[in-house]
Amino acid sequence: MTKQYDREAMRYLSWALYPLIACYAVYALLYETHRSWYSWVLNSLVGAVYTFGFILMCPQAEPRRGPPAPGPRRQAT
């Protein structure tokens, strides 16, 4: 069940963060100085790796299903 929630959360985070990666790459190309195209590509890829790491490390909360089950009962002596 948690794998399903993880997949769903990953999908929604990806929809939000992948376009932000592309926008950041374009912003960096236009407004930041780089020594070469290689530097810009490397900087953009590093940002993508950091963002993907954030998506994977984002904790996923599992919905609560009710009170916990009672533990084993002990007999009174």
Alpha-carbon dihedral of residues 19, 22, 26, 27, nearest 10 degrees? 60
Residue 42 to residue 74: CA distance in whole angstroms: 63
Higher-confidence residue of 24 and 3: namely: 24
Residue 63 to residue 77: CA distance in whole angstroms: 39
pLDDT of res. 7: 78
Residue 57 to residue 10: CA distance in whole angstroms: 10
pLDDT of res. 39: 92
Residue 77 to residue 74: CA distance in whole angstroms: 9
pLDDT of res. 41: 92
**Token reading at 40:** 């810009």
- Over the stretch 12-38, which tens digit does the pLDDT of each residue have? 877 888 888 889 899 988 998 889 999
| pTM as predicted | 0.57
Q: Using an 8 Å Cβ cutoff, are 54 and 16 in contact?
A: no
